[in-house]
Amino acid sequence: MASGSSSCHHSSWIHTFWHEMTSFGNDKHKPSLDWKVERKRYSLRQEEGGVLYMRRVKEVEPIHEVISLITEKFQTSFDFIEKKLHIDEKTAVLLYIKTVVNGADLQEFIIKPFFELPTEHHYKSYLTSLPQQQEIKGKEQILDEMTRGSIVIIIQGSLLLLDIKKVHTDSVQQVNLEPTIQGPELALSEDIATNINLIRQRYHKPSLVVEIQEIGGKSNQSLAIIYDSQSVNDAVLEKIKNKITIIKHTPLIQTTAEMQRLLNEKKRSLLPISMLTERTDRIIYNIAGGKVVLLLDGNPVSLIAPAVFFDFMSATEDNYRPFYLTIFNKSLRYLGLIICLTLPALYVAITSYNPEVFRFELALSVSGSRIGVPYPSFIEVLFMLIVMELLIEASIRLPKVIAGTATTVGGLILGTAATEAALTSTIMIIIVSAMAISTFVIPINEMGFAIRIIKYGVLLFATIGGLLGLVLFMLGLFMYMANMDSFGEPYFKLFLQRKTAEIEGDKT
Amino acid sequence: MSIWIRKAKLVLFALILVGSSLLQTGCGFKDIDKRLFVLGIGVDQAKSKGNRYKVTLKLALPSGSLKESTGEMYSYLTKESTKIADAIRQLKTQVDKEFDFGHLKTIVIGKELLKSDLSEITDIFLRRRDFQRISWVAIGEPTAEKVLKTEPKSEMPASVALFNFFAETGVESPYIVNTYLFDFRRKMMEHGIDPVLAIMKVDKKRTKMMVNHSVVLAKDKEPLELNPRQTKVFNILRNNLKKAELIIKKEDLEYIISIDSLKTNYKILTSASSGPVIKMNVDLVGIIEESDHYINSKRLTELGDYAGKEVEKWIQDLFLHFQEKKVDPLGFGLRYKATRLHKKNLFTEWEQEVYPNLKLDVTVNVGIKSTGVIE
Amino acid sequence: MSRYFYYLTFINTIASLVASMPKILLMNREGGAIVSILISIPLGLVVCYLIGRFYQAFPGKGLPELMDDYIPKFFKILFLLVIGIVWFAAGLLSVITYSFFIKRFLSPNANLIYIVSLILLFIYYGALMKTKNILYVLEIIFVLAAPMILLLISKAFTNNYFEMDFVRESIMHIQNYPNYNAVCAAAFIFWGPANLLIFNRVLKKKQSMTWKSICTIGLVGTIVLLAGYFGPIGMLGFESIGMVVNPGMTTADTMVFRYGIIERVLFVALMFFLTITFASILTHWHVAVEVFKKVVYFKKLRWRKHNLTPHLFLIVFWITSVKVVTYLTEYQLVKYTSYFYNIFPFLLSAMLLVFWVIRRRAKA
């Protein structure tokens, strides 16, 4: 990225490094409500490739070098404007990228006062007292900020940087992935500033900390780390920050879902260890509980870490409803989970290995409904499951106009006609539909998808081992989940004591 | 290890897993429509010389939809042989599917076999794991084969009449003695209690089944058949019943009491002075079900007491009957053993000295709570 | 007292309910089994208490670490070797017993080696887990299975067909001398805390062994003993029960869930006891692997940053199990289980002696 002449490069690197060294200690003393902008030192280091050494050199960057660098970088883009303002003896030069700058603000706060204030000195004092002014930390930072919508003003021989960016994506959206019946209906927007605003407006505590970092080697997105400094679990926070520094180098991080995958230590994992949500009330609830929330610019979905297995089975409504309703709902969800996992496997295990387990009438009925079906039971089950999976995948991508057709195809044709053609038995249809419906009882989607895959494992072991294989695989699943940990928190531990006692002190 | 070798290993491993699940060797994988469910088994005396048993199997025929099934629901197979297991194995050669005994719930033994040792017959049922220990055992009259082959009109496609007679989810009657297989076995093996089995009779046309007699089977003794009234009294004393009826005739009034709560308990007292005595207490509570005259509700206690005396007489008769024939289906011997410290010849003492001289002192309290909806 | 201590104890208790414990007790029913039960309860509880008190004094350390500090090396290696073998045998006996059950009752057409291998596949994965995670698995298994087992036990006693007379008859044999086999078999159910020799490494908080803990363990143990001894007698008859090969499971077969989904209680009992037995085997073999790691450790045996020594041990265990399972008959199995239970008191007294020595030296 930095491809200027070597001396220029060298000096800016040292300047950067020096600034880094001195500002490192200062961060702690700043009040935490400030926005922090971290150094982008990755690209420089990679290209240097050599040993870092520190020389105490104090340099002021010549302004014309900066200007020439800026114009050199942006001159091929059509939206780069270099404007000179001049009246009587006042001159100022504006450098900005027009598509990301707020035209109204530009007119109101920059151009108009220039012509109203008497001298350059006044104008400079005015500009330096504007809240939109940003601290200049180096050439790279100036270029970076310009791409975000800041304007560079050259006045009285010095450079000023002001932030007047325009964002189009800040409309607050409606909740569409996790609806509730009675709860807040507004979800996060796609702009990070609006999101932080939404969160702060719900959590009026000074201990709420918002830290900003930049990640993504090529796309340079802003990442906000939000937590409540009084109740956060420090070990978890450490871990998350370490992981973020490790994954910073990935070229493109588009969504929080991708972040979720990158934050996982294991390269190949099945079960999610952090939660994605678009609801503000869930975010607040988790922040108050001591978790860390990550927001990525350009995404309406936030990431909550750490998350254990039982978090994925709780919906936001659990806190809003009366006690017994909540208990009923929770048991229903767990029942749905068990049905989804074991029902097809149970069918195979019982019809093909031990039909004497269930009642006689059921055995006779199953036997009768399998008259004429050519394949053994597990192929029949597999066939129906695959068809159901195809149906679900297709309905995600269907354009709205064809949605109705797909339902008809799935319901009528696959269901009734398959039975009539003796490809499957009627009992199989009931089992598959019960299982499909109960998959969606799980509130969080990632867990639902993971469960959909795990049930093929259960099916496999029930096929080769009957009831024994089924029970053993479920035990194996418990062991696998107990062996996972989500950023240091045990994944599958029952919280039988009070939650605070479990989290604060060590376990057992 | 290069990437290609690693990938090839993964693919190979996956193929092995899938392949092994498709081969299904040595797992016992057999689809449900390759199995034939056996619902009941009957054992009779063999007619031909050289064989001892004639085995009949009642098989369920699967049909596409149970609600609209017409035609045959069951089919039967018969074979004679020296041992039951042998007969079953020979029958396997006559069908194209594997027998599945997992749902076998009734075992019927022919009446002629009562003379031989029943513990030998039931040996196979207890030894093999796929015969349920909670199957019902009964005696079939005239032969077990005829009993099995009867399909009364009230039988629905999937519910077997044989089974519903005995299960408490079916008909509940005080004339039916239901005995589980494990109960039969433990009563046969233990000293001090004798098993009782119900007798299922079919009429000549093979359309109806009747169960209201029972038979007491004691070791080395003649099987003792009980008539319906004796069966009912036995059931009341057995403490396993939920409902019963008492038909009482008092002078010119005949009334029926429907009992819905019964309790029996007894104690064996042996004192040196008076001989051994059983003190038995029977509590019956019910309401009047049918009567041929109008009953004033003030007469309830009087009618209850009279009924009590009648029942006492029945119980005494039954007890004397048992004592005379030297059988002990109610388990008095067991109770005797259970209430005295063990010594070597405790049971012979019971058999020779105590039981023949035992007297029964029974008090029956019949409480009639109401006369029904009308008086 | 941390609840994980209770889980370790109770999993051992319930797992021995379905192993050979009822059979050994019932073999002695006419000769002092009841007195043996009565003796074994205080005996087991006393040992349980002593073990708990010892580990209470050293939170966060397992026995091998403590022996490192205070016991001469030669004796330590020998002792750990013996412990490892005994724990391996405990898990092995559970595996074989339960495989026999499954082959007999659930899938008689399956190959015995296949059944054993299927179970051992998951034990292999489990025994290599971290110790703390095994405790979480134990918790989940216990919470899921214990209510059903309680239901089964109460169902056996409140059944219509449960004849109190048989039980009373068996009690009438009380005036006999106790039998060593029966006492050991009955007391074994209280000796789950012996597993603490490895699991104490993760119990880092200070524990306290109070009267309440002892009473709870005693209560549960007594219920299990009564259910294991009187349950089969009541349902199957006193004299003839000697002829029954598996009294525990056969008793389960005599019960019916009349209105339940699964009618025969046998299948429900098989599945739930499978989970508990699995947990028991898992803890035993985890302890065995960890103990063997202290005795023999090949540093050079590595493959991609994993040390393969525990894998080696587990493969040896697997091969031994498969060989033994094809060799034993059921009768031999009960006999060897009885011998195993008989060895345990000697081992425990040696362990208690080691505890005493360590405590003396630690105080000094």
Least confident window among A333-337, B121-125, C316-320 = B121-125
Chain B residue with Cα closest to A363: B32
Distances (CA, A) of A250 to A187, A211, A240, A254, A294: 28, 20, 16, 11, 17
Closest CA to A389 of A425, A422, A436, A424: A436
Closest CA to B79 of B69, B67, B92, B66: B92
Asked if A269 contacts A485 with a C-beta cutoff of 8 angstroms, the reply is: no
Q: Write down the pTM of the prediction.
A: 0.85
For position B272, which CATH number holds? 3.30.300.210
pLDDT digits (tens, 9 = 90+) for C170-190: 888 888 888 888 999 999 999
* Spatial distance between the Cα atoms of A466 and C110, rounded to a whole number of angstroms: 10
Query: Is the pLDDT reported for residue A98 higher than 90?
Result: no
Query: Is the pLDDT reported for residue A47 higher than 90?
Result: no
Q: Which two tokens stand for residue A151?
A: 């304007």
| SS3 state of residue A21 | helix
pLDDT digits (tens, 9 = 90+) for A313-325: 888 778 888 899 9
Residue in this structure with the two tokens 């202290």, named with its chain if needed: C294
- Residue B103: list chain A partners with CB under 8 A: 355-356, 360, 363
- Which amino acid appears at position B88 of this protein? I
Closest CA to C100 of C188, C20, C17, C156: C20
Single residue among B207, B226, B245 that ends a domain in this structure: B226
Residue in this structure with the two tokens 């870092």, named with its chain if needed: A52
Domain of residue B134 covers 31-226
Contact B103 A466 (CB under 8 A): no
Whether residue B356 is contained in a domain is answered as yes
Chain B residue with Cα closest to C110: B27
Between B264 and A412, residue with greater pLDDT:
B264
Distances (CA, A) of A111 to A83, A178, B123, B370, C109: 11, 46, 107, 104, 90
Same domain as B154, residue B104: yes
CB-based contacts of B105: which residues, under 8 Å, 6+ apart? Answer: A360, B39, B40, B132, B134, B135, B136, B160, B162, B163
As beta bridge partners, residue B40 has: B58, B106
Closest CA to A288 of A499, A484, A485: A499
- Residue A496: list chain C partners with CB under 8 A: 3, 139
Q: Which two tokens stand for residue A496?
A: 């039988």
Q: Which two tokens stand for residue A198?
A: 């939404």
The 8-class DSSP code of residue B41 comes to E
C290 interface with B at CB cutoff 8 Å? no
Compute the nearest-CA separation of C237 from chain A (Å): 26
* Spatial distance between the Cα atoms of B34 and A374, rounded to a whole number of angstroms: 12
Query: Is the pLDDT reported for residue A36 higher than 60?
Result: no
Residue A423, φ and ψ in degrees, nearest 5: -85, -30
- Which amino acid appears at position A409 of this protein? V
* Spatial distance between the Cα atoms of B371 and B375, rounded to a whole number of angstroms: 5
* Spatial distance between the Cα atoms of C199 and C203, rounded to a whole number of angstroms: 7
C138 pLDDT band (50/70/90 cuts)?
very high
Peptide bond into A306 cis (omega under 30): yes
The 8-class DSSP code of residue C258 comes to T
Residue A141, φ and ψ in degrees, nearest 5: -65, -40
- Residue C102: list chain A partners with CB under 8 A: 468
Whether residue B20 is contained in a domain is answered as no
Whether residue B25 is contained in a domain is answered as no
Contact C133 A478 (CB under 8 A): no
- Residue B168: list chain C partners with CB under 8 A: 258
* Spatial distance between the Cα atoms of B187 and C236, rounded to a whole number of angstroms: 9
Mean pLDDT of A90-119: 85
pLDDT digits (tens, 9 = 90+) for A177-220: 777 777 777 788 888 888 888 888 888 888 888 998 888 777 77
Beta-carbon pairs below 8 A across chains B and C: 84
Neighbours of chain C (3+ CB pairs under 8 A): A, B
Whether residue B50 is contained in a domain is answered as yes
C172 interface with B at CB cutoff 8 Å? yes
Asked if A168 contacts A40 with a C-beta cutoff of 8 angstroms, the reply is: no
Single residue among B226, B245, B276 that ends a domain in this structure: B226
Mean pLDDT of A428-437: 86
Q: Which of C105, C167, C254 sits opposite B134 (nearest CB)?
A: C254
Q: Which two tokens stand for residue C216?
A: 């709870």
CB-based contacts of B210: which residues, under 8 Å, 6+ apart? Answer: B200, B201, B202, B203
B344 interface with C at CB cutoff 8 Å? no
CB-based contacts of A188: which residues, under 8 Å, 6+ apart? Answer: A172, A173, A194, A195, A198, A278, A280, A295, A300, A301, A302
Rounded to the nearest angstrom, the gap between the alpha carbon of residue A94 and the centroid of all alpha carbons in its chain is: 37
Chain B residue with Cα closest to C238: B190
E strand or H helix that includes residue B251: none
Closest CA to A478 of B65, B13, B62, C137: C137
Planar angle of CA B231, B234, B240, nearest 5 degrees: 110
Whether residue B23 is contained in a domain is answered as no
Same domain as B219, residue B245: no
Compute the nearest-CA separation of C315 from chain B (Å): 19
Compute the nearest-CA separation of B53 from chain A (Å): 27
Query: Is the pLDDT reported for residue A34 higher than 50?
Result: no
Q: Give the ranges where B202-274 is alpha helix by DSSP (H).
A: 228-238
Asked if B342 contacts C172 with a C-beta cutoff of 8 angstroms, the reply is: yes
pLDDT digits (tens, 9 = 90+) for B334-352: 888 888 787 777 788 888 8
pLDDT digits (tens, 9 = 90+) for A213-269: 888 777 778 889 999 888 888 888 888 888 888 888 777 878 888 888 888 877 778
Per DSSP bridges, beta strands A489-490 and B35-45 are: unpaired
Proportion of chain B above pLDDT 70, given as a percent: 91
For position C189, which CATH number holds? 1.20.1740
B158 pLDDT band (50/70/90 cuts)?
low
C155 interface with B at CB cutoff 8 Å? no
* pLDDT number for residue C111: 84
Residue in this structure with the two tokens 């970088």, named with its chain if needed: A73
Whether residue B70 is contained in a domain is answered as yes
Among C56, C118, C135, pick the best mutation site for testing chain A contact (most A Cβ within 10 A).
C118
B64 pLDDT band (50/70/90 cuts)?
low
Mean pLDDT of B165-180: 78
B23 pLDDT band (50/70/90 cuts)?
low
- Residue C173: list chain B partners with CB under 8 A: 342
* Spatial distance between the Cα atoms of B227 and B317, rounded to a whole number of angstroms: 13
Among A359, A382, A464, pick the best mutation site for testing chain B contact (most B Cβ within 10 A).
A464
Per DSSP bridges, beta strands B359-368 and A221-228 are: unpaired
Query: Is the pLDDT reported for residue B230 higher than 60?
Result: yes
Rg (CA), chain C: 20
Distances (CA, A) of C123 to A192, B21, B137: 48, 21, 43
Count of domains forming chain B: 2
pLDDT digits (tens, 9 = 90+) for A356-370: 888 877 888 888 888
* Spatial distance between the Cα atoms of C330 and C249, rounded to a whole number of angstroms: 14
Count of domains forming chain C: 1
Same domain as B297, residue B206: no
Mean pLDDT of B223-235: 86
Least confident window among A110-124, A335-349, B340-354, C3-17 = B340-354
Query: Is the pLDDT reported for residue B231 higher than 70?
Result: yes
Proportion of chain A above pLDDT 70, given as a percent: 85
Asked if B338 contacts C234 with a C-beta cutoff of 8 angstroms, the reply is: no
Tell me the HSE value of C245 on the side-chain side, using a 13 A CA sphere.
Answer: 14
pLDDT digits (tens, 9 = 90+) for A338-393: 999 999 999 998 888 888 888 877 888 888 888 778 888 888 888 888 888 888 88
Neighbours of chain A (3+ CB pairs under 8 A): B, C
* Spatial distance between the Cα atoms of A211 and B252, rounded to a whole number of angstroms: 101
* pLDDT number for residue C277: 94
b/e sequence C110-127, b meaning 16+ C-beta within 10 Å: bebebbbbbbbbbbbbbb
Same domain as B149, residue B36: yes
Domain of residue C116 covers 3-363
Residue A269, φ and ψ in degrees, nearest 5: -130, 165
Among C109, C116, C169, pick the best mutation site for testing chain B contact (most B Cβ within 10 A).
C169
Q: Which two tokens stand for residue A68?
A: 């020439």
* Spatial distance between the Cα atoms of B227 and A344, rounded to a whole number of angstroms: 53
- Residue B170: list chain C partners with CB under 8 A: none
Least confident window among A10-24, A236-250, B149-163, B177-191 = A10-24
- Residue A473: list chain B partners with CB under 8 A: none
Query: Is the pLDDT reported for residue A476 higher than 90?
Result: yes
Residue in this structure with the two tokens 């600034």, named with its chain if needed: A19
C2 interface with A at CB cutoff 8 Å? yes
